[in-house]
Amino acid sequence: MAAVNGRPLNATAASLLGLLLDGPMTGWDLVAAAQRRIGDFWTLTQSQVYRELATMAADGLVEVGPPGPRERKPHAITDRGREAFARWLDAEPAPDQVRIPLLLTLAFAPHLPPGRLAEVIAAQRAGHARRLEGYRAAREQLRAPGAPAVGAGRLATLEYGVRHEQAVLDWFDELPAILGLP
Amino acid sequence: MAAVNGRPLNATAASLLGLLLDGPMTGWDLVAAAQRRIGDFWTLTQSQVYRELATMAADGLVEVGPPGPRERKPHAITDRGREAFARWLDAEPAPDQVRIPLLLTLAFAPHLPPGRLAEVIAAQRAGHARRLEGYRAAREQLRAPGAPAVGAGRLATLEYGVRHEQAVLDWFDELPAILGLP
DNA sequence: CATATCATGTAAGAGGTTACATGATTAC
DNA sequence: GTAATCATGTAACCTCTTACATGATATG
């Protein structure tokens, strides 16, 4: 019996519990579900998933069910897990955690060979434009008649993505003026 | 003589080198300088600074100068350090690394007690509004006549902050409609 | 039967956070 | 003299990433 009261959940573990509220899943399933449902604003790797599952099983937050074909090991959330998830969800979300390598490059741009900065900016802008298109397409698909019913949260996060990427693109378009580039 | 060719720089170490281009600094100085120059979009702790300095000293990227008063240990960038920094700066910046706890909460909002979601949103919005004001104030200060001369990069990153936070606030204002909140 | 996909996991290390310990110097 | 701040760093731990190892099953 490990950790009688369980350690405090980290956001990654809590998210896995949240996904398990829809029913038992294997680690493999969870990786896919996480990518689909929260992948746009939360990264997690397969390695992490198996580790968190093992930890949570030891803490009694999930239970391993009867193995299926191909070594499938379905994990189900327990009552303790539901409580832990509810406590986590009710807490104040931590502040955004943002690290933007491009802004580092920009901060040190005077040390960059001339012309290189413009290249870097163009490449980064293209990436953001691609992502904006992805978010837009996904949003339109969900808005279309006959679209699969989906939580409003999904629409809200897509809208976040669209607005953020649009703002970033607008910023890119102002950049030459700010930096005094040709 | 450790690591003849030096391991590849991580962004945090590289940033410290970038700051040292302005002249020798102690770990303490670097913490302050980093907070001021890149703190808006890159986090780093005191602990990390001392560790990276030790590693970089072992790799010959920085040199410890003659100690000053109060155990001050100025670190100066070496020629090897300058090369390593230039190589890092010239490389393609990694994609943004973003984790937004609020969006996790939103993704699982159906499991939240009624009313709690609105509270959470209000609190988070206030935080973003505060940050927007901070960026705006800093930007106006730099634009004012007689402002200290400062790199265009600083203005560009402030502009990024302003636009990002403004987009997030706009999104907050759309949220009730998207989520069907009163 | 070969290849792709499903599915498990381990190992090793990098990067990051929090908390603590220690002492010098400056300002009141 | 005492409190704040400067300045060093260590210890412990957590989280995340990358790479590897292993084998079952489905598809052509």
Last-in-domain residue among A66, A90, A114: A90
Looking at residue A3, what is its pLDDT? Answer: 40
Contact flag, residue A111 CB and nucleic strand C, below 7 A: no
Q: Give residue A66's domain range.
A: 11-90
Structural domain ending residue among the three candidates B90, B124, B141: B90
- Asked whether residue A33 falls in the same domain as residue A80, the answer is yes
* Contact yes or no for A124 and B93 at CB 8 A: yes
Tell whether the torsion through CA atoms of B142, B143, B144 and B145 is positive or negative: positive
Percent of chain B with pLDDT over 70: 97
Distance of alpha carbon A112 from alpha carbon B7, whole angstroms: 21
Residue A44: CB atoms within 10 Å: 20
Is residue B1 assigned to a domain?
A: no
Averaged pLDDT of chain A: 92
The A 55-94 residues near strand D by Cβ under 7 Å are 69-71
Residue whose structure tokens are 């950790």: A3
> Any idea what the CATH number is for the domain that residue B65 is in?
1.10.10.10
For the cut 80, the answer to whether the pLDDT of residue B161 exceeds it is yes
Is the Cβ atom of B27 within 7 Å of strand D at any atom?
yes
State the nearest residue by CA to the C1' of D18.
Answer: A47
pLDDT in tens, B111-146: 999 899 999 999 999 999 999 999 999 999 988 887
Task: Please give the Cα distance from B8 to A90 (Å, whole number).
Answer: 41
Residue B2's pLDDT band (cuts 50, 70, 90): very low
Please answer whether residues A78 and B139 qualify as being in contact, where contact means their C-beta atoms are separated by less than 8 angstroms: no
Number of domain units in chain B:
2
The pLDDT assigned to B54 comes to: 95
**pLDDT value of position A6:** 66
Q: CA of B41 vs C1' of C24, distance in Å? A: 33
- Does A115 lie in the same domain as A158? yes
Residue B25 within any structural domain of the chain:
yes
Nearest nt to B44, CA vs C1'? C16
CB neighbour list of residue B86: distance below 8 Å, 6 or more residues apart:
A111
A143, part of any domain? yes
Least confident of B68-72, B109-113, B149-153, B178-182: B68-72
Strand D atom within 7 Å of A12 CB: yes
In a domain, A2, yes or no: no
Please report whether residue A6 resides in a domain: no
Count of residues in chain A: 182
Cβ contact, residue pair B11, A104, below 8 Å: yes
- What pLDDT score does B80 carry? 95
> How confident is the model at residue B150, as a pLDDT?
77
Out of A40, A86, A178, name the one closest to residue B152 (CB): A178
Asked if the structure places residue A72 within a domain, the reply is: yes
CB atoms within 10 A of CB B3: 11
Q: Are A107 and B18 in contact (CB under 8 A)?
A: yes
Residue B18 has pLDDT above 80, yes or no: yes
Per-residue pLDDT at B181:
84
Q: Are residues A107 and A83 in the same domain?
A: no
B56 sits within 7 Å of strand C by its CB: no
B121 and B79 part of one domain: no
Residue B46 lies in a domain: yes
Same domain, B131 and B168: yes
The mean pLDDT value for B86-102 works out to 95
Contact A95 B110 (CB under 8 A): no
Instruction: Report the nucleotide nearest the CA of residue B50, measured to C1'.
Output: D9
Interface probe with B: pick from A22, A35, A45, A104, most Cβ of B within 10 Å? A104
Residue among B123, B155, B179 minimizing CB distance to A178: B155
Average pLDDT, chain B: 92
Last residue of a domain, one of B90, B119, B146: B90
Residues A100 and B56: their CA atoms lie apart, in Å, by 23
Please list every residue in chain A whose beta carbon sits closer than 8 Å to the beta carbon of residue B92: 120, 123
What's the gap between Cα B155 and its chain centre? 15
**Residue partners of A74: CB distance under 8 A and separation at least 6:** A24, A25, A26, A64, A65, A66, A67, A68
Q: Which residues of B110-122 are buried (b: 16+ CB within 10 A; e: fewer)?
A: eebeeeebeebbe
Q: What percent of chain B has pLDDT over 90?
A: 81
Q: Is the pLDDT of residue B149 over 80?
A: no
Which residue has tokens 């802008």? A125
Asked if residue A55 belongs to a domain, the reply is: yes
In this structure, are B85 and B140 located in the same domain? no
Per-residue pLDDT of chain A (182 residues; tens, 9 = 90+): 434 466 789 999 999 999 999 999 999 999 999 999 999 999 999 999 999 999 999 999 999 988 777 778 999 999 999 999 999 999 999 999 999 999 999 999 999 998 999 999 999 999 999 999 999 999 999 888 877 777 888 999 999 999 999 999 999 999 999 998 87
Q: Is-contact B85 B14, C-beta < 8 A?
A: yes
Residues B114 and B166 placed together within one structural domain of the fold: yes
**Separation of CA A120 from chain center:** 25
- The Cα–Cα gap between A16 and A37 comes to 11
Please check whether residues A114 and A175 belong to one and the same domain: yes
Full-model pTM: 0.91
Residue A131 to residue A163: CA distance in whole angstroms: 11
| C-alpha to C-alpha distance for B103 and B90, rounded to whole angstroms | 34
pLDDT of residue B6: 65
Would the Cβ of B99 be found within 7 angstroms of any atom in strand C? no
Query: Which pLDDT belongs to residue B7?
Result: 77
What's the CA gap between B105 and A139, in Å, rounded?
Answer: 20
Q: Supply the angle between the helices A152-179 and B152-179 in degrees, to the nearest 10.
A: 160
